[in-house]
Amino acid sequence: METKSQKNPQLDKVRELVEDIRIAMMTTVDEAGHLVSRPMAALQMDEDGTIWFFTKRTSPKVDQIDNNQHHVNLAFADVGDADYVSISGTADELDDRAKVNELWNPQAKAWFPEGKEDPELILLKVHTDMAEYWNASDSTMVRLFQQATAAITGNPPKMGENAKVYN
Angle, vertex CA 118, rays to CA 117 and CA 123, nearest 5: 90
Beta bridge partners of 110: none
Written as one letter, the residue type at 68 is N
Q: Is the pLDDT of residue 150 over 60?
A: no
Q: What is the CATH number of domain 2-166?
A: 2.30.110.10
Q: Is the pLDDT of residue 25 over 50?
A: yes
Q: Is the pLDDT of residue 134 over 80?
A: yes
The whole-angstrom separation of Cα 29 and Cα 64 is 6
pLDDT tens for 52-95 read 999 999 999 999 998 888 999 999 999 988 899 999 999 999 99
Q: What percent of the chain has pLDDT over 90?
A: 70
HEC string of 93-117 equals: EECCHHHHHHHCCHHHHHCCCCHHH
Which 3 state secondary structure label does DSSP give 91?
strand
Which pLDDT belongs to residue 154? 72
